[in-house]
Structure 1
Amino acid sequence: MTVYTSSARFDTGRALSEDELRKAASSIFATSAHESRSRRFQPIPTIEILRGLMKEGFVPVGAKQSASRIEGKADYTKHLIRLRRIDDGKIYNVGDTVCEILLKNANDGTSSYELMAGLFRVRCLNSLVTQTGTVEEVKVRHSGDVQAKVIDGTYAVLRAAENTLRAPQDWANMRLNEEEKQILAQGAHLLRFGDAKTPIQPKQLLRQRRADDVADDLWTTWNVVQENTIKGGIRAIDRDDPRHPRRVRSRAVTGIDQDIRLNKALWLIGAEMAKLKGIR
């Protein structure tokens, strides 16, 4: 499931209604903790925090939640909300890329409030999670004045998210040769598949899905690799049994934590390549 609903406007960041949020991630509205938590665990409903953020001008444009096989736990699971600032007169995009704030929380004890910088690329509806260096993330425990801490943290992460908008500009001016492209693809392949045996080859992560992505610059190449790594759908033939070759297709990364970890690691690979090419 995409973190964006079909009703979200990617150009302006139209705020999702509470009804739309409830359909996408009902756990946002949990007002109590899951029964597995002790009495000391005092959850603060995400919707209360979100309403406070909306008063500050941060609007939700997408949401998703984790699945659960445990009966009755679905309404308490981990959820992720993507937020944009749209009313302060500033420009938070470069070309087709918009900076965002990611808010993660859960009322089953699996997550504190966590704020991260993100980018959204409209061309391929790509959700990116960036590793921003000085302000990577802000975590707020379920205690004290949570809303004030989350709001303060949101402004801090917004400043970091704005800094990431330099990447679409700087990386787009850096040309990669074939060897450098292969390095990006090999790093992404290792992150995605590890030591698992797979017929999918690193070079397949460089295959463009649209004509606009046929280019040799770092920004376009990195986005192609990121999209193929996260969205899956890469096809190959498994020939482990020569008598019975079978078609396989890579799976999309759908878990919230796996998505975030993989995106951050991919971002670091891109940033290191940019350093090697002269961007500091």
Structure 2
Amino acid sequence: MSEAHDGRRPDSADAVDPERFELLLVPPAPRTGWRVLPARVLAMCVVELQKLRHDRTELYTRAIQPALWLLIFGETFTHIRAIPTGGIPYIDFLAPGIIAQSAMFIAIFYGIMIIWERDAGILTKLLVTPTPRAALISGKAFASGVKALIQAVVVIVIAAALGVALTWNPLKLLGVAVVVILGSAFFSCLSITIAGIVLTRDRLMGIGQAITMPLFFASNALYPVAIMPGWLQVVSKMNPLSYQVDALRGLLLGTPSHLLLDFGVLIFAALVGITTASSLLGRLAR
């Protein structure tokens, strides 16, 4: 006879936990309030970074360009001493600029990815979820920042191998990570904003190629602001890349910088970028 018919009580392992049974009938309350946005941003960021597990080619190929800048451009101008750098070797002066450049080049074409997601129907599915649009954009923006951070580590290793006198202070390196992520967040949001305006990959690629080098050359990445023409100095002061490079130099090399202003500009630029890109996300999905 079975236990059900022989009068024996079921043991504790067979007993049903009342609390567990209640969860089957009533699902747990969803996150509300201030916890919603950070949780959704983290989830979207993890989803973006999962793509690196399937294809790491982008990280390897993008390491070639900054290595060439340091090995060829940096070494050459260090020997000829054509650019005044305040008493530090030119390759030391150049290394933070190349970190910012490589991060920008990763982020500025992020809009192509979101256009591909729209064409594949992924973006429409994301927009019908309860996830706020700002969380979708923030997740992608900070995922691009993490990718750029991996690139920055590669550049720092190459620079250290070339004898660049970088700091290894953990707090300053943490500041470097924050600067890289904030700068990448802005430029990825700029790319997504452009994608929301032009709507096609071909147009976005053309505009992206048209603005990346002017942004790079109109910053202090290659030369001090003091030696620029007056009009270019004005442009440089409006360029977020200049503030990113200034913060990286101050943290990595200990050169005079304006860290409070640099962080303030980068945080403000990232917030404006997220807000603008979020407002155009619906237009991109249509």
Larger-gyration structure (1/2):
2
TM-score, structure 1 normalization: 0.28
Structure with a larger share of its residues in helix: 2
